[in-house]
Chains A and B, each alone.
Chain A
Amino acid sequence: MILLAQDFKFASNTKTERGVTAGNLSDVYQEIILEAKDVGAFYGKKEAIKNVSMEILKNKATAIIGPSGCGKSTLLRCFNRMNDFVPHFQLTGALNYRGRNIMKSDAMFIRSQIGMVFQRPNPFPKSIYENIVWGPKIHGRKNNLDELVEDVLRKAALWDEVKDRLGELGTNLSGGQQQRLCLARTLAMGPNVILMDEPCSALDPKSTAHIEDLINVLKDEYTIIIVTHNMHQAARVSDHTAFFYEGELVEFDATENIFTRPKHKKTEDYITGRFG
């Protein structure tokens, strides 16, 4: 193999978990927070993902990589039921969040527990302050909103930039700031899991670095699943990496293993840039 470990910079606190086999990371004695069992997804008759089984561990960052159209975003959106909005979408198999069937649970509850940051920043056309408190307010929170705003803005590394203008429109911030605002808005719900759907694809390199640094900090407190096109990003931020190809989960392992000792030819071809 031509690929060397030093080609990819790994997340600082990644511990290599040897002997972990694809699709099964549970032998490292950690809580499984999300689980997919034989999940298949269809847009009408078109099959988007087939027979995907995987376990997501609590307080880990999991990256999902693969070429366009491989089903990685579809899977991500299954976890918080965002595919409910797609007409003719159908799901087979089972998805569990802490042992609870996601498809049979209340979607509003699931989404308050499993937050999402989208590909393009989508702040509400409200003030920065209102962007953050809107979610908690509709879920009944009335007290200590000011503290909450400061807390999540600090976590999203945005506080110093906006603390003097919380009343200004969130949509007037720069792209990178907007994305951090959307992250803060998600954090304000106090979720356990944060799904990120190519969160940096619309951002410049500096803002991208900012978000990546945040992921590395936030995974101590949250479980993060990030879909990305950028393999270096996957290597930098994630503990585990899943490689998808044509709707199938090809390989799922500790990130370092995926990038240095891939077991499948397809994975190797993809990460060495032979296709994608």
Chain B
Amino acid sequence: MENIHSIERAKKIEKALLPLLAAAGMFTLLVTAGIIFTLSQETWQFFKTVPIIDFLFGTKWEPLMEPKSFGVLPLVSGTLLISIGAGVFAIPSGVMIGVFLTEYAHERIRRMVKPILEILAGIPTIVYGYFALTFVTPLLKTVMPDIEVFNALSGAMVVGIMILPMVASLVDDALLALPQSLKHGAYALGATPYEVIVGVVIPASFGRIMAAFILAISRAVGETMAVTMAAGSNPQLTFNPLNSIQTMTSYIVQVALGDTPAGGIEYLTSYAVAFLLFAMTFVLNWIGHKIMQQGRK
């Protein structure tokens, strides 16, 4: 008797749970749809005044000054400078950490390093901003005296440190996903660990490692606070990392925090920039996930 009761109860809970779970799932969908809707609407308003060609291909970004100019390329170049720079720092070291953890590290060390990496990933980004401003930039100044106080290099470096745990952990996953039998096949031919890693392990998980890079770069593209603090807010079309620059995200912060009146064209610019940023990271993530899936086959 008791048994039947408990089965009945379990069924009831099951019935009640289903709509709850479905609602939770729906909620995220609605939020995503809402974000896309808001972005698109305001962006549409913006493009009613400013031609899309001027926005995408203009080389001067001066929306808050007279005469106004809405060329987004300086912001894009700033963003690229930071993300590519961050990649240059994070990708080689991330791969090395991943290789070390899967192939060389003793189980005990692995269990110690993994959580530390996760702590690194959990530090608020503003802290990285201070780190850049008060530690990295002064350090760079001793080597390169003519570097500006706000510079892309220091921003790229701290963003690199920020995405490092992500690269390391994704590379670690990629290497772990490789069947042991493949490595053993290589070792059985008398290869050294280094030869196995360079000759078999890395080529075999190349797709997944690339996907890890793209996802990490996409994260760097979207990074805001650390970059705003480290690299400044001086939109200019440059690829010199010693200059002060402004990224797309820093610009949005500037508008959101400033006294730009809501509804004006200056205000709408931030939506257009945000929309472009969204499109960029969306495409990057999509490519990353596609490559991941390919790698899994």
A-B contact count (CB 8 A): 64
The distance in angstroms between the C-alpha atoms of A161 and B195, with both chains bound, is 30
Nearest chain-A residue to B188 (Cβ)? Answer: A116
B126 located at the interface, meaning its Cβ lies under 8 Å from any Cβ of chain A in the complex? no
A138 with B184: CB separation less than 8 A: no
B122 located at the interface, meaning its Cβ lies under 8 Å from any Cβ of chain A in the complex? no
- Among B19-27, B30-38, B196-204, the one that faces the other chain is B196-204
A134 located at the interface, meaning its Cβ lies under 8 Å from any Cβ of chain B in the complex? yes
Q: Which of B187, B189, B203 contacts A185 (CB 8 A)?
A: B189
The distance in angstroms between the C-alpha atoms of A113 and B187, with both chains bound, is 12
Measured CB to CB, the closest approach of chain B to A134, in angstroms, equals 6
Measured CB to CB, the closest approach of chain B to A156, in angstroms, equals 15
Question: Given contacts A138-B195, A139-B190, are A124 and B182 in contact (CB under 8 A)?
Answer: yes
The distance in angstroms between the C-alpha atoms of A126 and B189, with both chains bound, is 15
B179 located at the interface, meaning its Cβ lies under 8 Å from any Cβ of chain A in the complex? yes
Chain B window 48-79, contacts with chain A (Cβ cutoff 8 Å), 1 for yes, 0 for no: 00000000000000000000000000000000
Q: Which residues of B contact A125 (CB under 8 A)?
A: 182, 203-204
Q: Which residues of B contact A111 (CB under 8 A)?
A: 187-190
Q: Which of B107, B192, B200 contacts A124 (CB 8 A)?
A: B200
The distance in angstroms between the C-alpha atoms of A136 and B247, with both chains bound, is 51
Main SS at interface, chain B: helix
A80 with B199: CB separation less than 8 A: no
Question: Given contacts A87-B107, A124-B204, A126-B203, are A186 and B182 in contact (CB under 8 A)?
Answer: no
B181 with A109: CB separation less than 8 A: no
Q: Which residues of B contact A63 (CB under 8 A)?
A: none
Residues of A in contact with B, size category: 20 to 34
Q: Which of B165-194 contact A (CB under 8 A)?
A: 179-182, 184-192
The distance in angstroms between the C-alpha atoms of A111 and B182, with both chains bound, is 15
A28 located at the interface, meaning its Cβ lies under 8 Å from any Cβ of chain B in the complex? no
The distance in angstroms between the C-alpha atoms of A255 and B96, with both chains bound, is 51
Most buried by A among B107, B185, B189, B203: B189
The distance in angstroms between the C-alpha atoms of A139 and B189, with both chains bound, is 9
A85 with B184: CB separation less than 8 A: yes
Chain A window 95-108, contacts with chain B (Cβ cutoff 8 Å), 1 for yes, 0 for no: 00000000000001
Q: Which of A90-142 contact B (CB under 8 A)?
A: 108-113, 115-116, 118, 120, 122-126, 134-135, 138-139
Q: Which residues of A contact B195 (CB under 8 A)?
A: 138
A215 located at the interface, meaning its Cβ lies under 8 Å from any Cβ of chain B in the complex? no
B185 with A124: CB separation less than 8 A: yes
Measured CB to CB, the closest approach of chain A to B89, in angstroms, equals 30
A3 located at the interface, meaning its Cβ lies under 8 Å from any Cβ of chain B in the complex? no
A209 located at the interface, meaning its Cβ lies under 8 Å from any Cβ of chain B in the complex? no
A82 located at the interface, meaning its Cβ lies under 8 Å from any Cβ of chain B in the complex? yes
Question: Given contacts A118-B185, A122-B185, A124-B186, are A108 and B192 in contact (CB under 8 A)?
Answer: yes
Chain B window 99-133, contacts with chain A (Cβ cutoff 8 Å), 1 for yes, 0 for no: 00000000100000000000000000000000000
Chain B window 128-154, contacts with chain A (Cβ cutoff 8 Å), 1 for yes, 0 for no: 000000000000000000000000000
Nearest chain-B residue to A189 (Cβ)? Answer: B189
The distance in angstroms between the C-alpha atoms of A117 and B195, with both chains bound, is 19
Nearest chain-A residue to B193 (Cβ)? Answer: A108
Q: Which residues of B contact A113 (CB under 8 A)?
A: 190
A227 located at the interface, meaning its Cβ lies under 8 Å from any Cβ of chain B in the complex? no
Measured CB to CB, the closest approach of chain B to A135, in angstroms, equals 4
The distance in angstroms between the C-alpha atoms of A246 and B27, with both chains bound, is 59
Q: Which residues of B contact A126 (CB under 8 A)?
A: 203
B199 with A134: CB separation less than 8 A: yes
Q: Which residues of B contact A139 (CB under 8 A)?
A: 190
Q: Which of B181, B186, B199 contacts A120 (CB 8 A)?
A: B181
Q: Which residues of B contact A108 (CB under 8 A)?
A: 190-192
Q: Which 4 A-B pairs have the closest CB atoms?
A: A112-B190, A135-B189, A111-B190, A122-B185
Given contacts A122-B179, A125-B203, 7 further A-B contacts (CB under 8 A): A111-B188, A118-B185, A118-B188, A120-B181, A182-B185, A185-B185, A185-B189
**CB within 8 Å of B: which residues of A?**
80, 82, 85, 87, 108-113, 115-116, 118, 120, 122-126, 134-135, 138-139, 182, 185-186, 189
27 pairs of residues in contact across A and B, judged by CB atoms under 8 Å: A85-B184, A87-B107, A108-B192, A111-B187, A111-B189, A113-B190, A115-B188, A116-B188, A118-B181, A118-B184, A118-B185, A122-B181, A124-B200, A124-B204, A125-B204, A134-B199, A134-B200, A135-B189, A135-B190, A135-B191, A138-B189, A138-B195, A138-B199, A139-B190, A185-B185, A186-B188, A189-B190
